[in-house]
Amino acid sequence: MQKNKGNPAMTATLVEKIIARAAGKARVTPGEIVTCKVDLAMILDSGGPRKIWPRLKELGVGVWDPEKIIVVSDHFVPAVDAETAAILKLARDFVREYKIKHFYDMKGICHIVLTENGHLEPGMFACGGDSHSTMGGAYGCYMAGFGGIEMTGVCITGEIWTRVPETIRVDWSGAFNTAVVAKDVMLFLCRQLGMDNAFTAIEYGGDTIAAMSMSERAVLCNMAAELGGETGVIAPDAKTLAAIRAGGTEPKPDALSWRSDDGARFAARHNFNAAELQPQVAAPHAPSNSGGVDDYKGVKIDQAYIGACVGAKLSDLQMAASVLTGRKVASHVRLLVAPASQKIYAEAAADGTLNILTDAGAIMLASGCGACAALGAGVLSEGETCISTTNRNFKGRMGSNQASVYLGSPYTVAAAAAAGAIADPREFLQ
């Protein structure tokens, strides 16, 4: 770790630049408390309308801008009982009542849907009603997660106060070895940097990051939440602009200008060599409880889950398929697959990925948060062991408090499904 010697009077980090623009100031400094104008607010069926609407009624107010509020149903979809059906109906009624322009009902997980539809752009200051809203930072914007009370204020005023975070810079250089991907990076970083980096933003850079696809960069920013950071960010480049255009939006002329200045002051800098990283696994009950896959080989599993915003993108499903081609899921294992969006579901069907997974014995589930948040199909019973592509494995996260959840990449989860126990995916790809 190196302390940065940049001159804060002359330079600024990407996060400081975005917050300064949103606050209407020439510059901001870490620790300063400012009020920011919000460019986009995303709320969900789980903690959105059902918590916000009663407060709006009590205060006798409406929403600040129905075009800048995005509503997504993804946690309770599809409804499994009368209670969850009522929650979804309330969300739909809220959208009609306040004439919300962008409503994605059962289209996929919110963080994926935002990017698929071109809602995120460099330099944007965005708020989300989910802790993994940090995923938006892969697009060069500042996006953080907030609770129901804070999101109520945002929906009414279009503003929120924030404390300007310090930025920790994490650089990776070199190329990954076989079966090593962004998820392995984050399980490694949770161990190396810890999960208590409060009041910081994590900025990723280096030639390894530049070589990554947007879907892999999204994993890094998503799991900045596991590091305890306020958000994760990556400076935009040509790949970012291409992804924005693919979502139907033309990037602004200044899109590529949103980056940290040379010599910007970082709270700390870390440098890692991608070639030295092996597939990682996190044992119960924290992402930081991680190590190389060899440390956990042979742990018998009951379930393998490929799902969630961080682990069921098209590239994730393709990783799993590359391991399972010509193989079968172990007889005592349930392999559950929940593509992160309907669009991904269709793409995976079109390119043959779903055929490979289902031929191997995978059980397909609806797109949504599902078992990741212990909702809907796929929750775990007492004493069961699961390996999952999700981002968290706290006690009770996927069902019973007495269940054990291991975390790994789609490669590692697929290998475990075939072997019936945690296994090294490199052995399946030779």
> Which whole number is the average pLDDT over 26-55?
96
The yes-or-no answer to whether 14-258+265-272 and 281-428 have a common fold is yes
Q: For the segment 193-236, what is each residue's pLDDT rounded down to a tens digit?
A: 999 999 999 999 999 999 999 999 999 999 999 999 999 999 99
Contact 385, 301 (CB under 8 A): yes
The total number of residues written for the chain in this structure: 430
d(CA 136, CA 129): 13
Q: Hey, what CATH class is 14-258+265-272 in? A: alpha beta
Contact 323, 415 (CB under 8 A): yes
CA nearest to 164, candidates 385, 61, 16, 277: 16
CA diameter of the chain: 64
Sheet containing 125-128: give its strands across: 102-105, 69-73, 40-44, 125-128, 142-145
CA nearest to 341, candidates 215, 196, 209: 215
- Tell me: pLDDT of 86 over 50: yes
d(CA 153, CA 202): 26
- Tell me: pLDDT of 374 over 90: no
Q: For the segment 250-260, what is each residue's pLDDT rounded down to a tens digit?
A: 999 999 999 99
Residue 294, φ and ψ in degrees, nearest 5: -60, -25
- pLDDT, the chain, mean: 95
Other Cβ atoms less than 10 A from the Cβ of 368: the count is 31
Cα within 13 Å of Cα(204), Cβ side: 37
d(CA 315, CA 62): 40
Q: For the segment 93-149, what is each residue's pLDDT rounded down to a tens digit?
A: 999 999 999 999 999 999 999 999 999 999 999 999 999 999 999 999 999 999 999
Q: For the segment 151-187, what is each residue's pLDDT rounded down to a tens digit?
A: 999 999 999 999 999 999 999 999 999 999 999 999 9
Q: Which helix (H) or strand (E) holds 85?
A: helix 82-97
Q: For the segment 319-338, what is each residue's pLDDT rounded down to a tens digit?
A: 999 999 999 999 999 999 99
- Angle at which helices 314-324 and 214-222 pack, to 10 degrees? 100
What pTM was estimated for this model as a whole? 0.95
pLDDT value of position 6: 44
Residue 174, φ and ψ in degrees, nearest 5: 90, 180
Q: For the segment 331-368, what is each residue's pLDDT rounded down to a tens digit?
A: 999 999 999 999 999 999 999 999 999 999 999 999 99
d(CA 79, CA 88): 8
d(CA 346, CA 352): 10
Taking domain 281-428, whether its CATH number is 3.10.450.350 is answered by no
d(CA 185, CA 219): 9
- Angle at which helices 214-222 and 182-193 pack, to 10 degrees? 20
- Angle at which helices 314-324 and 342-350 pack, to 10 degrees? 40
Domain segments of the chain: what residues?
14-258+265-272, 281-428
Residue 197, φ and ψ in degrees, nearest 5: -95, 55
d(CA 174, CA 170): 14
Residue 306, φ and ψ in degrees, nearest 5: -110, 100
- Give percent of the chain above pLDDT 90: 93
